[in-house]
């Protein structure tokens, strides 16, 4: 658990501070969902929005579990060290994205556009949302919307080499996205404004970059093992679950 905790924190930070991209990609969907709730159902708006986001987060965790199985296979092969390096580089890249210093991650969105073309018609048929189960299902479908940040986080989670850990990391990432997207659906502009502040995003980005550097194999790890502390505990090894 000591090794997994920094990774879970990274996943939460990625979800929470990835809000700028989430608003650009998904904020419109949240607004459309809210507007599509029938007038007689408006009193249940919060329940429907929670169900919608729960379905989305569970789809992230399921995707993490599936791709984590592939990561497990690679982690138990001679390519294990390469997988660990990939994990570190992805984490550093996502930190640069959060801080607003590099937006290259958005290019990977093209990977899922073909799949989304097949899913979108089913999602459209669920509108307007009239019940909690319908909102849950719509959210589960929405979780497969092409998103560079989600895809990059998914690859990073898979690179840990453990399917269950990959699912937990994607669950933590999904939970991290809740405040921004729920606030958007409930028109809570103050919270979204705070999370989009440049200083907040830069702090989160630097935190994630440091976790990436900590994960990256190299001579610095010997120094970290002897001197570094995270949360008061000595760093006995890098926070990667790639089995060597």
pLDDT at 128: 77
Q: Is residue 25 part of a domain?
A: yes
Q: What single DSSP character describes residue 25?
A: I
Q: Is residue 241 part of a domain?
A: no
Q: How far apart are CA 77 and CA 171, in angstroms?
A: 26
pLDDT at 210: 85
Mean pLDDT by 10 residues, the chain (244 residues): 80 79 56 65 77 92 93 81 82 83 75 80 82 90 83 86 93 88 63 71 84 74 52 40 44
Q: Is residue 196 part of a domain?
A: no
Q: Is residue 7 part of a domain?
A: yes
Diameter over CA atoms, the chain = 63
Other C-beta atoms closer than 10 Å to the C-beta of 12 total 18
Contact (CB, 8 A) for 176 and 11: yes
Q: From start to end of the chain, where are the E strands?
A: 229-230, 233-234
pLDDT at 77: 79
Q: Is residue 211 part of a domain?
A: no
Task: Give the contacts of 53 (CB within 8 A, at least 6 positions apart).
Answer: 139, 177, 178, 181, 182
The three-state (H, E, C) secondary structure of 164-230, written as one string? HHHHHHHHHHHHHHHHHHHHHHCCCHHHHHHHCCHHHHHHHHHHHHHHHHHHCCCCHHHHHHHHCEE
Q: Is residue 214 part of a domain?
A: no
Q: Is residue 40 part of a domain?
A: yes
Structurally, the chain folds into a number of domains equal to 1
Q: Is residue 243 part of a domain?
A: no
Q: How far apart are CA 164 and CA 225, in angstroms?
A: 26
Residue 23's domain comprises 3-188
């Amino acid at each position: 658990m000591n090794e997994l905790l920094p990774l879970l924190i990274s996943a939460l930070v990625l979800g929470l501070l990835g809000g700028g991209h989430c608003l650009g990609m998904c904020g419109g969907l949240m607004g459309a969902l809210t507007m599509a709730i029938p007038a007689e159902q408006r009193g249940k708006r919060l329940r429907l929005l929670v169900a919608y986001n729960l379905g989305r987060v569970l789809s992230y965790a399921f995707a993490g579990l599936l791709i984590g199985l592939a990561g497990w296979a690679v982690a138990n092969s001679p390519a294990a060290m390469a997988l660990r390096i990939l994990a570190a580089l992805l984490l550093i890249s996502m930190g640069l994205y959060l801080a607003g210093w590099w937006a290259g991650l958005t290019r990977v969105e093209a990977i899922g556009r073909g799949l989304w073309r097949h899913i979108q018609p089913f999602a459209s048929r669920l509108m307007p949302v009239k019940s909690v189960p319908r909102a849950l299902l719509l959210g589960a479908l929405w979780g497969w919307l092409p998103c560079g940040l989600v895809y990059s986080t998914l690859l990073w989670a898979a690179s840990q080499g453990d399917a269950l850990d990959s699912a937990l990391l994607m669950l933590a990432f999904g939970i991290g996205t809740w405040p921004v997207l729920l606030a958007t659906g409930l028109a809570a502009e103050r919270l979204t404004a705070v999370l989009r502040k440049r200083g907040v995003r830069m702090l989160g980005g630097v935190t994630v970059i440091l976790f990436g550097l900590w994960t990256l194999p190299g001579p610095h790890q010997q120094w970290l093992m002897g001197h570094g502390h995270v949360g008061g505990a000595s760093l006995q090894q890098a926070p990667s679950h790639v089995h060597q």
